[in-house]
Amino acid sequence: MAKSKFFCIAVEGATVDGREIKREWLEQMAASYDPKTYTARINCEHIAGYSPDAPFNAYGSVLALKTDTVELNINGEMKSLLGLFAEIEPNAQLIEMTKNDQKIFTSCEINPNFVGEGKAYLVGLAATDGPASLGTDRLKFAAMARPNVFTPAFSTAIDVVAEVDQGGIADAIRSGFAGMAAMFSRQDDKPKDPVTPPPAAANDNSFDIAAFSAAIGQQVAAAVQPAHDAIAAIRADFTALQGKLEATEDPHSFRRQPATGGGGNAAHLTDC
């Protein structure tokens, strides 16, 4: 990421909204600021980034602070005041935003009693269009030709995937194609052997299948034979029972008794 030149982010004295930036604050912040102790991140309009997505993400970090004298024209009178200057590492969003003439000034976030030590520390920096401090410089970013302008950013909290050696891949591809070409070249030089059809398989599958089918049939027949025998026995018993029932008279059925003969002249008496 690119890093900026030092530019003024605050000036001692009264602010436009009636507050005061003390000179000793600027001196203490310049003397004690260390990103390894606490990094002041850049936000938009003092809205601390709670999302990794714009516009509520962070826009970079403050790298270093120093103080220097600035000359300001206040109500027609030139005054020499102490200013706080910052070197920042902006991300691409902040650079693009300032190119569009948006949020081109800064506003400090100062903790006057950092970690209870009684000294001021810069804990944040906001990109804004309405700075409270006088004399803040407009944000300007430019890519210069010096090799130390752009520096790689590494973080121990992020696992970085090792880069693949592109040269090694290219060499491997070239070697592979060369080997394939040589292989085909050698094959073309050799006379082609006549194609011999594969020998036919022995035709013993039908025998195995027949034997297997016969064995299965025998096992199935043996398994169901008891059931067949039981059914045949039941059928025979039923037939025998049916014959007996048909030959047996019903004791409740009416049957006329045969007449008893007494000769041709015998008189038959009947009760009327």
In a domain, 211, yes or no: no
In a domain, 103, yes or no: yes
Q: Which residues contact 139 (CB under 8 A, 6 or more apart)?
A: 4, 7, 90, 94, 98, 103, 104, 105, 106, 127
Catalytic residue among 17, 189, 193, 204: 17
In a domain, 66, yes or no: yes
In a domain, 54, yes or no: yes
Q: What is the pLDDT of residue 72?
A: 85
155 is catalytic: no
16 within 8 A of 72, measured Cβ to Cβ: no
CA distances from 56 to 32, 44, 45, 221, 260 (A): 28, 7, 10, 84, 132
Looking from the CA of 198 toward its CB, the CA atoms found within 13 Å total 3
107 is catalytic: yes
Amino acid at 203: N
In a domain, 38, yes or no: yes
The number of folded domains in the chain is 1
Structural domain harbouring 113: 7-128
**Sole residue written with tokens 């800064």:** 106
Using a cut of 0.75, tell me whether the model's pTM lies above it: no
Catalytic residue among 32, 53, 61, 107: 107
CA 219 from centroid of its chain's CA atoms: 58
CA 243 from centroid of its chain's CA atoms: 84
Catalytic residue among 34, 46, 228, 229: 46
4 is catalytic: no
Q: What is the rounded CA–CA span in Å between residue 37 and residue 183?
A: 63
Per-residue pLDDT of the chain (272 residues; tens, 9 = 90+): 678 889 888 889 887 777 888 999 999 999 999 999 999 999 888 887 667 787 778 999 999 999 999 988 888 889 899 999 999 999 998 888 888 888 888 888 889 999 999 999 999 998 887 665 655 544 443 333 332 222 223 232 323 334 445 555 556 556 655 665 555 555 555 555 666 666 655 555 445 666 766 777 777 777 778 887 888 889 888 888 888 887 776 666 555 555 555 555 444 443 43
In a domain, 74, yes or no: yes
